[in-house]
Amino acid sequence: MSKAITSREADYSQWYNDLVIKGELADYSAVRGCMVIKPYGFALWENMRDALDKMFKDTGHVNAYFPLLVPKSLFEAEEKNAEGFAKECAIVTHYRLKTDPSQKGKLMVDPEAKLEEELIIRPTSEAIIWNTYKGWIQSYRDLPILVNQWANVMRWEMRTRLFLRTAEFLWQEGHTAHASKEEAVEETLRMLDVYADFAENWMALPVIKGVKSANERFAGAEDTYCIEALMQDGKALQAGTSHFLGQNFAKAFDVKFSDRDNKLEYVWATSWGVSTRLIGALVMAHSDDEGLVLPPRIAPLQVVVVPIYKGEEQKAAIDSKVNDIIKELKAAGIRVKYDDSDNARPGWKFAEYEMKGVPVRLAIGARDLEKNVVEVARRDTKDKTVVTLDGVAQYVQGLLTEIQQQMYNKAKDYRDTHITPANSWDEFEKLLDGKGGFIAAHWDGTAETEEAIKEKTKATIRCIPLEGEKEPGNCILTGKPSAQRVLFARAY
Amino acid sequence: MSKAITSREADYSQWYNDLVIKGELADYSAVRGCMVIKPYGFALWENMRDALDKMFKDTGHVNAYFPLLVPKSLFEAEEKNAEGFAKECAIVTHYRLKTDPSQKGKLMVDPEAKLEEELIIRPTSEAIIWNTYKGWIQSYRDLPILVNQWANVMRWEMRTRLFLRTAEFLWQEGHTAHASKEEAVEETLRMLDVYADFAENWMALPVIKGVKSANERFAGAEDTYCIEALMQDGKALQAGTSHFLGQNFAKAFDVKFSDRDNKLEYVWATSWGVSTRLIGALVMAHSDDEGLVLPPRIAPLQVVVVPIYKGEEQKAAIDSKVNDIIKELKAAGIRVKYDDSDNARPGWKFAEYEMKGVPVRLAIGARDLEKNVVEVARRDTKDKTVVTLDGVAQYVQGLLTEIQQQMYNKAKDYRDTHITPANSWDEFEKLLDGKGGFIAAHWDGTAETEEAIKEKTKATIRCIPLEGEKEPGNCILTGKPSAQRVLFARAY
């Protein structure tokens, strides 16, 4: 194999980086903390984006586009939101370069082109959007506004990792405006369900729906709901958030509507987002030491066909048969590639497509052709079978569905066996340093206790689960009463 | 009608702004020179983007994503390109805000968070992309690279207009790398053809393919090819460009490949782009004094159905019939809306959908229902016909095709009758101030003459047409010999 990757056991973090780089999902760039999303990684993102976009539209949302830059005075209008993001802002201060008189061929910032007011590259768009909504909303007839934006955003992180935490990332951000609190809360939860549906049914990624503690809440939100996933190293990853923003942004930007009784009220808001971070989650949840393992529904390439031949005559016979198979697969809506390039041997190709996580590989040689069969290898289990060429498209279609389901089941089994109750501090610490995963423990509900636990263990409250039994008990650290167990974990 | 718009005759420029704002395509924003693309405008852009994206993929291209920010040292590497864009650059100098001690609740740029090297918000991405390609290209086997990016870019323009010239805009930029000059030139022309195909067959916008004079060339290109369209006020608009970049960027970023003979050579490059500016062209080419006129193939909404009724009983009967029609239309892949909202009268709705340029309107009342007919109004000609309800979907489908074709024909007739030869300076000036449009005139091929003509008349050379006769003559200004006529016009 041309590209050796570090095993999970040897170095999980290096394994992840190897997969992203050698699987050709992304590349480091010349810009600190920013990555290049390579064509293969971007094709994956396109499939995810298109599926999500359809789900948003099916739930009544439309897309729009708002400016990249936010004037500082707007940015600081909602104080908590501004405070939350202030330390991570890229700031535009000038609008022109000029020739540097001291260095031939070089440019310098033109000091005379200083902006009167600094502009912030959006770390999130509530401010610019709610400032716009002010002009769109007068009456209850203008509500709800159900808008989504696909965009790049920038958060100046000090420690970055490909996909998981980058200074610039791609995401979607929904921003909705409503006439009542009930409707806004309903929207917040509807979009949480859309995210969970997408994660589970497209990414094969089981998630737990919950609400964040006050400490972990989005800056400016009344409540932050989330979906939490579990990675193979036992660490959690927040895969999406949906915020009930109350009237905070309406008040900050003075957005009121006259209701049916002609009374002026502040508008209710939600926002919700998922990002290219999901690709990091996808990689870490399913892949193995041979490379990526991608769920068929979003894999850029679902099937690869590799010919095995000696000489032109064998090649021609295989080509002719494969062309029929490809036609059939394409007609069934399957993303398939015939790799008959002559610059690599079949074994090298096998390893390459394993690295790239292509769900199904068909290999066909001269003897297979005689027998009217093809070898089918699945990426997730590495099982190989020989099937007859008649009806191979139908077989492959069924197999893709099965792989999708089994990848989900496998991840869910792992996740379910890694939600462990802890009933004492001792147990809690042992679980964290040993088995890992989610620890279901009681918590007294205070920010102080949460902080103390985080300081001692680096574990945070991932969420207060929405589903499951609500059994009362006593806080794992303070012994004070607790209404229900919450989920702790170390997290990405 | 609720929203009066200025007529073209009264004030063409105001007419355009009225259409964009009242047609709900876009809105001004709080950020100087930046616009908000509203849901209706964005849906139009999505249709344009999806059609183009498919054309790019059908010609072998893949999408990727590169960083928004370009370090100054990379930006200035290709000197001509840097010089061309230096005066329009938004520059990030700091990465953190902090609490302003002198103003409660306000933030200020943290002077301690100054970047060592300034970052430029991409005005175009050649620099960051060619710096990346350096790592991707070693051998001829790595070529060609056929990558496209959909992105936002920023050019700090002093005078901005919605869609036509905004500080931030959305676009696609293709960046390809090739092993030979011939292949790169071929790619440049292939993409020019793709743009022309898209403009004519999707936007119903006839264009002239040509090459730019040196003055109008993209900064850093060897040759800039373009498609030029004509607006209803007789001004030209550059609708897309495709650049042959030679080895300029490969040399600036030291990108070499070993060819089949194992010799190191610089890589050949192209880049090509179209932007949200196309929406401005679309508006100005087709619309009238009642509002937008959108070509069916990209119209967000192709058909609107408006019921005309008195009382619930009539409404119910119409609803039931309309539901069948809607189902049929949707099954035929037509984007249709039934507007049975009760907060506006039919006449108001008619005007509203005329304003928004919806190609076909169906109006159906109780008497129509009795007669089993529906009134069909087309937006482009405002013709109305009554057709029987049986087979209405098929009728509408045919009508949409016809509208698309006739919109193109009408624009082409206008364009063709506004390409006028001028054989003397006098004629040239008269045409410019009178009839407008493209003026086909001889030019001596020098930058000086081009500049002089521009200074005297504000007309520029839009392109040296690729097609048509190449008849020699004498320069309109200097009388020096000229190999062929070029097209002059005042332009957006």
Q: What is the pLDDT of residues A419-451, one digit of tens each?
A: 999 999 999 999 999 999 999 999 999 999 999
3 state DSSP class of B340: coil
The order of strands in the sheet holding A303-308 is: A336-338, A303-308, A360-365, A373-378, A384-388
Tell me how many residue pairs between chain A and chain B have CB atoms under 8 A apart. 195
> How far away is chain A from the Cα of B175, in angstroms, using its nearest Cα?
13
The order of strands in the sheet holding B384-388 is: B336-338, B303-308, B360-365, B373-378, B384-388
- Other beta carbons less than 10 A from residue B143's beta carbon: 21
| One-letter amino acid of A168 | E
Nearest to A66 among B36, B46, B151 (CB): B36
Burial class (CB in 10 A: 0-12, 13-18, 19+), A460: buried
Within 8 A of B87 by CB-CB distance, chain A residues are 96-98
- Residue A481: beta bridge partners? A474
- Other beta carbons less than 10 A from residue B370's beta carbon: 9
> How far away is chain A from the Cα of B368, in angstroms, using its nearest Cα?
31
Tell me which chain A residue has its CA closest to the CA of residue B87.
A96
State CA A104 to chain mean position distance: 45
Residue B338: pLDDT over 60: yes
Mean pLDDT of B465-488: 95
CB contact under 8 A, B67 and A135: no
Nearest to B93 among A27, A91, A141 (CB): A91
For residue B211, give every residue at least 6 positions away whose Cβ sits within 8 Å of its Cβ, in sequence order, or none: B223, B224, B225, B226, B463, B464, B466
Both tokens of residue B475? 């320069």
- Residue A130: beta bridge partners? none
> What pLDDT is attached to residue A3?
67
> What pLDDT is attached to residue A1?
43
> How far away is chain A from the Cα of B291, in angstroms, using its nearest Cα?
20
> What pLDDT is attached to residue B1?
43
Both tokens of residue B158? 């002093």
User: DSSP string of A132-187?
Assistant: HHHHH-SBGGG--EEEEEEEEEE---SS-BTTTB-SEEEEEEEEEEESSHHHHHHH
> What pLDDT is attached to residue B74?
97
Mean pLDDT of A265-289: 98
> How far away is chain B from the Cα of A58, in angstroms, using its nearest Cα?
14
Do residues B376 and B400 lie in contact, with contact meaning Cβ atoms separated by under 8 Å?
Answer: no
Tell me which chain B residue has its CA closest to the CA of residue A70.
B31
> What pLDDT is attached to residue A94?
98
Domains and CATH numbers, chain A: 12-91+122-286 (3.30.930.10), 303-400 (3.40.50.800), 419-489 (3.30.110.30)
Residue A102: pLDDT over 70: yes
Residue B349: pLDDT over 90: yes
CB contact under 8 A, B67 and A141: no
Nearest to B156 among A91, A96, A132 (CB): A96
> What pLDDT is attached to residue B274?
98
> How far away is chain B from the Cα of A40, in angstroms, using its nearest Cα?
8
Mean pLDDT of B445-452: 97
Confidence band for B3, pLDDT divided at 50, 70 and 90: low
CB contact under 8 A, A95 and B42: no
Within 8 A of A34 by CB-CB distance, chain B residues are 67-69
Residue A255: pLDDT over 50: yes
CB contact under 8 A, B31 and A109: no
CB contact under 8 A, B89 and A72: no
How high does pLDDT run on average in chain B? Answer: 96
Terminal CA-CA length for chain B: 31
Confidence band for A368, pLDDT divided at 50, 70 and 90: very high
Do residues B467 and B442 lie in contact, with contact meaning Cβ atoms separated by under 8 Å?
Answer: no
Do residues B285 and B342 lie in contact, with contact meaning Cβ atoms separated by under 8 Å?
Answer: no
pLDDT (tens digit per residue) in B78-133: 999 999 999 999 999 999 999 999 998 899 999 999 999 999 999 999 999 999 99
Q: How many CA atoms lie within 13 A of B346 on its CB side?
A: 12
Within 8 A of B107 by CB-CB distance, chain A residues are 72, 75-76, 82, 86
Nearest to A30 among B43, B74, B87 (CB): B74
d(CA B314, CA B367): 10
For residue A358, give every residue at least 6 positions away whose Cβ sits within 8 Å of its Cβ, in sequence order, or none: A294, A299, A301, A302, A303, A304, A379
> How far away is chain B from the Cα of A121, in angstroms, using its nearest Cα?
9
Do residues B70 and B119 lie in contact, with contact meaning Cβ atoms separated by under 8 Å?
Answer: yes
> How far away is chain A from the Cα of B409, in angstroms, using its nearest Cα?
32
Torsion over CA: B181, B182, B185, B191 (sign): negative
CB contact under 8 A, B76 and A107: yes
User: DSSP string of B359-397?
Assistant: SEEEEEEHHHHHHTEEEEEETTT--EEEEESTTHHHHHH
d(CA B91, CA A237): 34
CB contact under 8 A, A67 and B34: yes
Confidence band for A479, pLDDT divided at 50, 70 and 90: very high
pLDDT (tens digit per residue) in A168-205: 999 999 999 999 999 999 999 999 999 999 999 999 99
Q: Are strands B303-308 and B360-365 parallel, antiparallel or unpaired?
A: parallel
CB contact under 8 A, A38 and B152: no
The DSSP call for residue A491 is B
> What pLDDT is attached to residue A343?
85
The DSSP call for residue B18 is H
Within 8 A of A330 by CB-CB distance, chain B residues are none
pLDDT (tens digit per residue) in B364-406: 999 999 999 999 999 999 999 999 999 999 999 999 999 999 9
Confidence band for B72, pLDDT divided at 50, 70 and 90: very high
- Residue B223: beta bridge partners? B244
